[in-house]
Chain A
């Protein structure tokens, strides 16, 4: 594999966990809930997926465990914010702090173990093509899954009745409630979906990208995913564009030295975070398109 192919492939690998986490959070925010606990759900997904894969020796239960763990974390957030009407910002932070602690506790016996190489797609002939082969026909299965999820979300939000209801709830939960839509139920479902996606994003880190378990290995990616949703202006395919852009910035730090950049590694490691800030500044000047009920508590009186 030549350098260019290597860079582009590692770009996709760096971007995929962000795609998963961001598309999940997009659905959650479209329903009017702001879950800042993406980082916590990702890290729990990372350890749950890793542990289940090590214990069973197979990826399928690992990925299912990651989804389940992420969804359970999200439902915990749901109980506190939707049923007990707590502040969503503070609860999201609590979810992150709790997730980081709990994952370290669960992950202790698993540090230092390796999950082995994740299977990649291989189509004889096509996958051997230069550049296009490894890039389009030779990725790991999770990459294709992430794009399929985005396509599914785009279809669901804009082409189905349930998607329309979900968006209506996010825009005006009181009106949606008055019409008779189950606001809280939809929001629980959106949260569970978002948690499962964040869990998959975390599992991608521990099973495909690393592939091993390290404490705090999400390193702020959950927060970057939150920024990506804003960057994408709550449009599904734009999160993919944003995630791949960030993937590019991230791998600059891996390949920076190789490309002859005479900069200390630490400054290159700052890049994804600085890029996030830059993006936030650029988009915040444009008009806001956030769901109108985002982050507001909902309490049905009748």
Chain B
């Protein structure tokens, strides 16, 4: 018989090993899934996980997809560490794109070196404004921030649609629900001519570094971790939960807004209803896969970006349904959460002997 025995302390080895275990299990489940769909499983795995890494274009696309995931996940992880659940990053991403895009469209066709920084500020501000709603409702009325931030995603999607159908519609366009293409100077610089990789990836790297310093070296990061692991202790120590809710929502909102702006002013180049591509939700998986640790998130973001690009390639090459990628991502999160048990518990085979039962956590 298999029993779970609590560990005295969480196993650090397992903490770092389980993400790899989860990836391996997802691969195995993926093989079975492809076989069920009647596709050659090994060919599919090769196309998804290896092919994109073989070309320069593939690597460029990797950073394009990884940048928003890493930016958003870093912000979310800081809140998750404190037990503050911002699930509505997708909405903050949309509002960031909208706010930043509005700046470009307001001064159209003017441009200059001042424009993009201004758009970035507006993008972050848009994300913060949207994140401030659940933060305010939680601190003032003790409203559940999970549901509020999530409901606001749907509101933001409708708002973006209303904007591009109405006031922001391209006046020179063919009545399509989309804004003008952003003018030169309002687009994010690319890293190499002819590729889509843009400077947003460096912002993502900077966010990872800043997040690492905040969580590992700063007093606020310490308070966040205490609040998450031992809310009682945080209260006795006199840490203001209110303040930490605001800080985490502002950080995650700003980073999500920035990610949205980079997407709108980068690969997309305008405001369209299809802008929300699910990064805000996938980033939640990235945050957990990365162990809510900025460095881990960097790796997890790159891996998740790989499943996006490889998934697209597999769709074309093997005529797989587009939903395959999200099934993969869902499975990955499941396996990770399930294997988490090994961090806090150890497995014991055979019958329990008297005295082997540990103290409850």
Contact = CB atoms under 8 A, between A and B. Distances in A.
A219 interface: yes
A269 B158 contact: yes
A76 B337 CA distance: 12
A160 interface: no
A301 B340 CA distance: 19
Interface in B324-350: 324-331, 333-334, 337-338, 340-341, 344-345
Given A85-B341, A270-B159, A97 B147 contact: no
Contact of B142 (A94, A223, A284): A284
Contact of A105 (B87, B324, B337): B324
A85 B344 contact: yes
A104 B326 contact: yes
Interface stretch (A6-14, A54-62, A127-135, A271-279): A271-279
Interface in A87-120: 87, 89-91, 93-94, 97-105, 108
Interface string B1-24: 000101000000000000000000
B4 A299 contact: yes
B87 A93 contact: yes
Contacts, number: 146
B150 interface: yes
A86 B338 contact: yes
A100 B321 CA distance: 13
A274 B334 contact: no
Given A36-B146, A273-B151, A277-B148, A266 B161 contact: yes
B146 A97 contact: no
B327 A98 contact: yes
B147 A280 contact: yes
Nearest to B321: A108
Contact of B281 (A97, A264, A267, A301): A97
B322 A93 contact: no
Nearest to A267: B162
Given A101-B330, A266-B158, A86 B341 contact: yes
B141 interface: yes
Contacts of B351: none
A220 B146 CA distance: 13
Contacts of A301: 6, 357-360
Interface in B60-119: 85, 87
Nearest to A274: B155
Interface in A10-31: none
B162 A220 contact: no
Interface in B126-176: 133, 137, 141-144, 146-148, 150-155, 158-159, 161-162, 165-166
B222 to A, nearest CB: 22
B361 interface: yes
B285 interface: yes
Contact of A280 (B148, B162, B165, B323): B148
A285 interface: yes
B85 A89 contact: yes
Contact of A90 (B6, B288, B324): B288
Contacts of A220: 150-151, 153-154
B261 interface: no
Contacts of B282: 97
A266 B359 contact: no
Contact of A101 (B148, B162, B325): B325
B238 to A, nearest CB: 24
B227 interface: no
Interface string B305-331: 000000000000000011111111111
5 nearest A-B pairs in the assembled complex, by CB-CB distance: A98-B330, A101-B326, A104-B323, A266-B162, A101-B327
Interface of A: 36, 76, 79-80, 84-87, 89-91, 93-94, 97-105, 108, 215, 219-220, 223-224, 226-227, 230, 264, 266-267, 269-270, 273-274, 276-277, 280-281, 284-285, 299, 301-302
29 contacts: A80-B334, A85-B344, A85-B345, A86-B338, A86-B341, A87-B337, A87-B340, A91-B334, A91-B337, A98-B327, A98-B333, A101-B326, A104-B323, A105-B321, A215-B323, A220-B153, A223-B151, A266-B159, A266-B161, A270-B158, A273-B151, A280-B143, A281-B137, A284-B142, A284-B143, A299-B4, A299-B345, A301-B6, A302-B357
Interface of B: 4, 6, 85, 87, 133, 137, 141-144, 146-148, 150-155, 158-159, 161-162, 165-166, 281-282, 284-285, 288, 321-331, 333-334, 337-338, 340-341, 344-345, 357-361
Given A84-B337, A97-B284, 5 more contacts: A80-B338, A97-B326, A101-B325, A276-B151, A284-B144
